[in-house]
Amino acid sequence: MTVKARTPRLAVLLPVYNGEKYVAEAVRSVLDQTFADFELIAIDDGSTDRSREILDGFSDSRLRVIRFPEHRGLVTALNRGIRGSQSELIVRMDADDICMPQRFERQVAFMNAHPEIAVCGTWTRQFGDKGGVLRPPIEPEQIRARLFFEWAMDHPSIMMRRAFLDRHKLGYDDEFRHVEDLDFFLRASALGNLANVPEVLMRTRAHAGETSIVHRREQAQTEARLRVRQLRLLMPIVTKMEEEFHIRIMSGELDPSNLPRAEQWLLRLDQANRERALYDGASFQRELRRQSYRLHAQAIGAGPLVLTSYRHSPLAARHEIRVREYAALIIRLAIIRLLTVGRACKKWLRLP
């Protein structure tokens, strides 16, 4: 009689494409987890380097490798991994990142304690070419509101319920290649609750070969399409010029002279949400205030008039930490001015 193998609680999806530099460290960080009831599915996406040899070098029975004969892309690899697993929970992992030892244990405990959460991520620490800790919002309503403007979850850190994916036939869409995670989060947040565990449980590597650098232009263009899609859900009637202006605000390409117009646009978004109630009101207003500060911080090099604009901003006026942010703008302006003076003096001293 054949004994059917027990399905592990977690299926960890690890797409690999020419990842020989980092994949061994990534795999070890998964296999060394304190929570051991998982299978690690590495999808070798047609690698032409030593990735296959490195994966074959691991003898752990929890590691299973799916191989593509040619490169098919991240979306195909992820969807294949989802279809090729049966576990209750599906976990994401990138071949150049590192899991903290208790990542799975903490996330499983969170999902056990919060059955209403469909997808949970974590806070992450960047290392490599740049550092810092990414602390996205924690609560579902905050995440939904943040996603209207920018990313609100770190994709390699997420854990998903299979039942949620199956119920809504959710997967990754190749139409939004290089921002497939943002598209997934936007669709998922409209159907269920997303949350982030407020603990650094992942280390994500910043390097010259990552998607946000290699495919920067295509990523920006595709993200713009998603931003317009979300805008039309909130404001069904918008002009082409309004869409373009909205994208300039979102992408940080706004000329300082357009700050008053941008403020009015943010207020219009607030009014639209009041009418349609697409997002939690308080959460959406918090994000609008955050965007107002971001726009003024990006424009601070234009001089003191930016400080005046922020001081009189109807969005900033309702901000609970406005004084601290205003002080930060003043310091930022002072540093810019000092650097400008320093460069001028350096140039002058070099004159004969």
Do 72 and 198 fall into the same domain? yes
* Whole-angstrom distance, CA of residue 106 vs CA of residue 110: 6
| Long-range CB contacts (within 8 A, 24+) of 248-257 | 249/291, 249/295, 250/149, 250/150, 250/224, 251/220, 251/224, 252/294, 252/298, 254/295, 254/298, 254/299, 256/299, 256/301, 256/302, 256/305, 256/306
Whether the pLDDT of residue 117 is over 70: the answer is yes
Q: Say whether both 200 and 309 belong to one domain.
A: no
Q: Are residues 205 and 66 in the same domain?
A: yes
CB within 8 Å of 69: residues ≥ 6 apart: 46
| Torsion angle of the four alpha carbons 16, 17, 23, 28, in this order, in degrees rounded to the nearest 10 | 10
pLDDT value at 317 more than 60: no
Note whether 201 and 282 are same-domain residues: no
In a domain, 237, yes or no: no
pTM above 0.75, yes or no: yes
pLDDT for 194-220, tens place per residue?
999 999 999 999 877 666 566 678 888
Neighbour-count burial of 25, counting CB atoms closer than 10 A to its CB (0-12 exposed, 13-18 middle, 19+ buried): middle
Residue 232 inside a domain? The answer is no
- At residue 321, the pLDDT reads 44
Rg (CA), the chain: 23
Structure tokens of 328?
A: 């930060």
> Directed axis angle between helix 140-149 and helix 180-189, to 10°?
130
Under the banding of pLDDT at 50, 70 and 90, the label for residue 20 is: very high
- Averaged pLDDT of the chain: 88
Residue 105 tokens read as: 């244990």
pLDDT of residue 251: 86
Tell me what pLDDT residue 88 has: 97
**Residue type, position 67, single letter:** R
Co-location of 197 and 311 in the same domain: no
Q: How confident is the model at residue 119 (pLDDT cuts 50, 70, 90)?
A: very high
Q: Are residues 205 and 274 in the same domain?
A: no
* Cross-strand bridge partners of residue 15: 43
Give the pLDDT score at 310: 74
Residue 101 lies in a domain: yes
Residue 219, in any domain of the structure: no
- Asked if 235 and 273 touch (Cβ cutoff 8 Å), the reply is no
164-198 confidence digits (pLDDT tens): 999 999 999 999 988 999 999 999 999 999 999 99
Q: Does 287 share its domain with 195?
A: no
Residues 68 and 178 in one domain: yes
pLDDT of residue 35: 97
Domain that holds residue 324: 249-340
Same domain, 146 and 98: yes
Q: Is 131 in the same domain as 273? A: no
Compute how many other C-beta atoms are within 10 angstroms of the C-beta atom of residue 97: 22
Same domain, 87 and 147: yes
Mean pLDDT (whole number) for 232-261:
91
Residue 46 lies in a domain: yes
Distance CA 122, CA 198 (A): 6
- Alpha helices (runs of H) in 155-300, residue ranges in sequence order: 162-168, 180-189, 211-214, 216-234, 240-251, 259-276, 281-299
As a whole number of angstroms, the distance between CA 222 and CA 231 comes to: 14
* Higher local confidence (pLDDT), 345 or 92: 92
Do 330 and 280 reside in the same domain of the chain? yes
Most confident of 255-259, 323-327, 342-346: 255-259
Going from the C-alpha of 170 to that of each of 50, 143, 165, 296, 315, the distances in angstroms are 33, 19, 5, 38, 36
Q: Are strands 63-68 and 89-92 parallel, antiparallel or unpaired?
A: unpaired
Could you tell me if residue 61 is inside a domain?
yes
To the nearest whole percent, how much of the chain has pLDDT over 70?
A: 85
